[in-house]
Amino acid sequence: MLAGFVDYLKIEKGLARLSVEAYVRDLKQFSDFLQQQKPARVLLRARRQQVRDFLDRLFSQQADGRSVARKLSALRQFYKYLLLDRMIEHDPTLNIDTPRQWKVLPKALSRAETESLLTSKAAPVGGPCHTNPFRRAIAARDRAMLEMLYAGALRVSEAVGVGLNDLKIEQGCVLVRGKGDKERIVPLGRAAVEALQQYLAGPRSVLAGPRSSPLLFIARGARRLTRQRVWQMVRAASQASGRAASPHMLRHSCATHMVENGADLRTVQTILGHADISTTQVYTHVAIDRLKTVFMQHHPRAKRRS
């Protein structure tokens, strides 16, 4: 049953391996919960009240709204699959409200923090550059990737998967493959284009050596970059800003800064690759919160009491 559900997630929904594994873990957690009930139940015989009790248990264990919402989403997908396969007649997740996860706003860097991160002189992971050509090549690659992550609001998986043929340097844009293998064209700013040109002018060949790779960003010996390596690189560069950052924070920062500068939500939605504009609307709340903070700090009458 679970094997069929995994195939359904991969083929019908186009979910990545890590997402599928998370769904399976959530299902097993719910299954363990059902086994503890009196009388014990199995997944096929779960009732709506058991789903509600499971969510209540999660909240009582201090799980945040986003985690609970993801687990509920996993259950909904699972029971939808069972309904389609006619293994059950009733969906126990119907009429259960999704936890209010919009209260959890995405973390974004300020413009000053972002500028500090992008212009940092942090050495690449592994040691200082000095005269080592590989260290210099890694530094050029990391600088180009940082600029692209912020310029195009790319996810880590999207950045490491960009191919050489996907980059249209003359047009200043890149073809990105997002969730569900959906493609979108993302524009790049001048800073990102210049960093990419410098990386492609020599450093990438140094990293590749005698080998070849269809990917834009590569490790030494033309090996594929890992997600963990990109996280390490962003964390190291963010030390200059005094705030630990992640690749996803650069994505959030790009969207937030664009909204702050007056970009319309439809454009931001297209750049981010969101299927639903309601996902993009959270950035208006982030921008408003920051606007209020700046107002309270700098307006001469903001804190005046009557």
Just list the catalytic residues.
155, 179, 248, 251, 274, 283
Neighbours of 202 (CB within 10 A): 13
- Coil, strand or helix: which one is 111? helix
Decide the pairing of beta strands 183-187 and 218-219: unpaired
Nearest Cα to 151, choosing from 253, 229, 222, 227? Answer: 253
> How far apart, in whole angstroms, are the C-alpha atoms of residue 38 and residue 27?
19
Could you give the CA distance from residue 204 to residue 222 in angstroms, rounded to a whole number? 9
Partners of 175 in the β-ladder: 185
Specify the 3-state DSSP secondary structure of 170: coil
Residue with tokens 């058991």, as numbered in its chain: 50
Which pair of structure tokens corresponds to residue 97? 């409200």
Tell whether omega for the bond before 187 is within 30 degrees of 0, i.e. cis. no
Helix (H, G, I), strand (E, B) or coil at 218: strand
The partner residues of 173 in beta bridges, in order of sequence, read: 168, 187
- 111 C-beta neighbours (distance < 10 Å), count: 14
The position carrying tokens 């300020």 is 110
Whether the CB-CB separation of 173 and 187 falls below 8 Å is answered with yes
CA dist 35 and 40 (Å) reads: 5
